[in-house]
Amino acid sequence: MGAPCPHQHVIDKNFSAKLLAEKKEKCCEWCGAGGCSLRLCLYSGCLRVGCGEGHADHSTLHNAQFPAHCITLNLTSLRSWCYMCEMEVTSSVLASMTIPLGQQHHLGGPISAPGVAVAQPITPSQSSAEEDDEEEEGEEVKAKGLVGLRNLGLTCYMNAALQAMSNTVPLAQFMIECPAFLRNDRKTPGLTRPFQRLMIEMWHKKRPSFITPSLLYHGFKQLYPMFRGYTQQDSQEFLRYFMDQLHEELREPLVVSHEDDHEGDMEEEDLSAESLSEREDSQSEAEYETCDSGVSEQSSGSSDHYPSKRKKRHHATIDVETGIATHRSHNRSLFLPDHESPEFSDAVSDTTLLDSDSAGGMSSSASPQVHSSSTSGLGSSKPSISSLSSSFKGKPCGTPGRRRKPPTYRSVISDVFDGTIVSSVQCLTCNTISSRKETFQDLSLPIPSSDQLSILQHSSASQLQQVAGSSVSSSSLHLAKTSCDTATDGWMWWLWMWLRSWLWGPAVSLHHCLAAFFSADELKGDNMYSCEKCGKLRNGVKYSKVLQLPEVLIVHLKRFRHETMFSSKISQYVSFPLHGLDLTQFLHKDCSSEVVTYDLYGIICHHGTAGGGHYTAYCQNWSNHRWYEFDDQYVTEVSSETVAKCEAYVLFYKKASPEMAARRQRTVELMQVSSREPSLMQFYISKQWVNKFNTFSEPGPINNYDFLCPHGGVQPQKANHVGDLVMLLNQGVWEYLHQVFGGGPACTRLYECVTCRAELDALSRRQTSELEMFLMLKKMFQEEEHPNIVAISMRWFRTWESFVRGREQEPPGPIDNSSICTSKTGQPVLKPGSDYAQISEEMWHFFYKTYGGGPELWVMYGNPHSSARRIEKMEGVRQEAQKQEPLQSESRSLSTENLPHTSTCTSRQRTVSAGEVRTKFL
């Protein structure tokens, strides 16, 4: 069991049952919300009532403002929660309070698992202490996680996906063991906290037979209104939205050292404006599509039940027909042929160009282009806004001639599910190869028909032989040989397969689906490749390879076809391995992954037709390695043979590495030795990396930048709770882990970084100053009789607004009006119907002077003589504000020094003692 809460001394000792009854009749003291999510702050002398996550979550905001007010009481369930310990403390609170609360008020036992306060090992074995407790009680030891989810009305799609995510060990254990990393500055309710609480309840020792996930469901519907109502939904659709929302809430900038950052800046400077323009103007990989391809021509269509909703999704997936990945884009297109997607010709993928080397030693940075007579816009020289915008993209203030490198974000979602693929097109005339590196979160695979299987097995080798001497030949020919093995095992086998196919249909395996996806497609006829080097339409070959394998591989089988007038489902059985899925033959020669085999742990199945049906899930419990069927609130143990025969819709595979089990065992032995012989030197290590060590097959290098800044100090935003982010290791354990995995940096002392604190304070002052200046100019704009009006892109303005509101820490970069302008007689003019806002000339000059960019797009030019006077007045106000700013800053500094809870906001170093850090590693 976990240690008792050490913060009980803050509870108001005079709290009585009578006062509790009075508080239960109240509403939120901030927004007036009522209902069943009210929480009472138990801090002595406070006793304020705030709303929970079902509303504006003022209770959590109150704790963020006053960290000492850490214990709250749910006025409905009478459960208590400690924000500092990140666990339920109901029993301890009841013991220390004077109100006579009976056990009848305590519903279902504690929410928090014992591992929340002190991190536990995340290996498949259970906590020995908890098992001993259960055995001492004489109860049958039952595996955790076997909890059903109540159907709230056609929510089986959500329940099946949540069961699969619950059995995704790296994600579920992160939610349970690393609660301090779930903090975010969002002022609106999200999905992270409800999902975390759901995971804790499902994996707790004292769990109910089923749980009602109403809080998560209602929060999801608020974020995505298309899931409201009682209609049939797609489980994979939900899964993508859900994962993307978690990523957005948990994402953090990727911190790098000064040396790495300098190298990145040098590489960024090497990119010319022309190459950047080419990247923006490059055609999407959707234009690689070969409508006459034997594999992809008649492949199963889009699996989306609601294709119109997917255009604004933030997810990473690889589409079946094109074999191309897209990465979390708000404006994602479906990358389907023109008869299925009208936006096919305008789709632009969010990708990164790789260095492209031709066979003759030449390099080409041109984007692959394909000519198609059946698709409008393909192969044409349509004018692009990016070429127009390259001439006016200004430079940010203070950084002349240099583009700011956009920040890279990561989260536990990207760590677990993100992989990388390389898509290439080779010209068969000059052998020039154009490649793109893309991120994916799942593979959407076709289910080949019998004709497609025959074409795949007999034509892959002959197609790839045309690329003799190129880098694609060796690896792809190996794929073709493997795909055709079943056709060369003898005529008896061929006869049996033919007879079986004639009687029961073609025998399709997951390997066939992968081979169809990664097979090379010829670009010829109406789909010829527009080679930049040749300057002509040429025959080409399109192929894809995996550059980095994800820790968890999600495979989506495209069983649904949606035509204009009807929808249909492919009920073809697809065999799949339960163990040892080997992806070696699909890897790029530069693949960085060492573990290439996967074991199955979860399946989402759809029962019924395209018009309606039911979703269930099969999951392997990681505590006892047995398979269970999750059918809403019912959980039933099944055999592995039953699992292998199911009609799979979404498959979940995790990497398998026996070496990691040996490394974990060695770490445990070293910790036992160090407990008997304590070392003189101790090292801090990130809890998030420890979770990777315990759950990943390839945890990667040690990364202490989860809590450290590039200067080696603690990030100012995390100084208050850094003790919850780290663990303390003895020297021997640290040296072993560092020797095996590398990384770092080493940390033996925790202190707040003075440099980052000064930068953060300066950034905060800049955000406040820009916001105040904008509001002042906006007021002048509303009062002006005949103002000059300029248009500005709302896309850029929303980015700037997020910055000045404090939701983002990175400035927006130069103004980019390319999306709202078009060219007329060689001059940029406002595009009708585009997404823009009207601002005054003074507001435009303020933005332009600060960020640069453009172009300037006039909506109305009123009085040219009044502009100069207004600009002079604006500069006078700016100078006056700058004079007052040092005085206000000094006043704020003096006032904050008198507040004990704001001591970490000063520029002094704050040292965190080792006693504040939990020392249990495994």
Q: Which candidate in 291, 614, 646, 738 is catalytic?
A: 614
Encode pLDDT of 17-53 as tens digits: 656 766 766 788 888 887 767 888 888 778 888 888 7
d(CA 698, CA 416): 10
The span from the CA of 388 to the CA of 377, in Å, is 19
Domain of 843, CATH number, reads: 3.30.2230
pLDDT tens for 811-824 read 998 999 989 988 88
Q: What whole-number distance in Å separates Cα of residue 510 and Cα of residue 586?
A: 13
Residue 790 contacts residue 862 (beta carbons within 8 Å):
no
Peptide bond into 225 cis (omega under 30): no
pLDDT at 135 over 70: no
Q: Which residue has the tokens 């390695």?
A: 625
Average pLDDT on 437-441 reads 91
In a domain, residue 712? The reply is no
- Judge contact between 38 and 52, C-beta under 8 A: yes
State which of 855, 870, 885 marks the end of a domain: 870
Alpha carbon distance 110, 671 (integer Å): 30
Q: Count CB atoms within 10 A of the CB of residue 803.
A: 20
Domain boundary among 92, 112, 132: 112
For residue 879, being part of any structural domain is answered with no
Q: Read off the pLDDT of residues 560-589 as tens digits, 9 standing for 90 and up.
A: 887 777 788 888 889 999 999 999 989 999
Q: Residue 363 — pLDDT band, cuts 50, 70, 90? A: very low
- 419 forms beta bridges with 440
Which carries the bigger pLDDT value, residue 523 or residue 342?
A: 523
**Per mean pLDDT, which of 83-87, 300-304, 625-629, 902-906 is the most reliable?**
625-629
Main-chain dihedrals φ then ψ at residue 253, nearest 5 degrees: -60, 140
- Considering the domain boundaries, does residue 54 fall inside one? yes
Which CATH number goes with the domain that contains 32? 3.30.40.10
* Of 268-277, 553-562, 728-737, 881-890, minimum mean pLDDT range: 268-277
User: Is residue 720 pLDDT above 90, yes or no?
Assistant: no
Which residue in 107, 171, 180 sits closest to 145, CA to CA?
Answer: 171
Please indicate whether residue 334 or residue 412 has the higher confidence score (pLDDT): 412
Find, among 96, 26, 30, the residue nearest to 62 by Cα.
30
Name the token pair of 558.
């495209």
- Catalytic-labelled residue, pool 51, 156, 619, 709: 156
Which residue did the predictor score with more confidence, 364 or 614? 614
Q: Is residue 365 situated within a structural domain?
A: no
Res. 252: pLDDT tops 60 = yes
d(CA 362, CA 454) in angstroms, rounded, equals 37
Task: Using alpha carbons only, give the angle 72, 74, 77 rounded to the nearest 5 degrees.
Answer: 145
Min mean pLDDT across 159-163, 440-444, 682-686, 875-879 is at 875-879
* Assigned domain for 34 exists: yes
- % of the chain beyond a pLDDT of 70: 63
How many domains are there within the chain?
A: 2
Instruction: Decide which of 112, 138, 154 is a domain's last residue.
Output: 112
In sequence order, the β-bridge partners of residue 824 are: 827
Bridge partners of 561, per DSSP, are 568
Instruction: Look up 28 and say whether it is catalytic.
Output: no
DSSP 704: G
Write the DSSP symbol of residue 465: G
377 pLDDT higher than 70? no
- Beta bridge partners, 702, equal 743
Q: How confident is the model at residue 673, as a pLDDT?
A: 86
Q: Give the model confidence (pLDDT) of 88-120 as tens digits.
A: 776 656 555 544 333 323 223 322 333 323 333
644 domain-assigned: no
- Distance, in Å, from the CA atom of 687 to the CA atom of 695, rounded to the nearest integer, reads 12
Per the model's pLDDT, the better-predicted residue between 907 and 538 turns out to be: 538
**49 within domain boundaries:** yes
Residue 247 falls in the annotated catalytic set: no
Does a structural domain hold residue 369? no
Domain that holds residue 831: 760-870
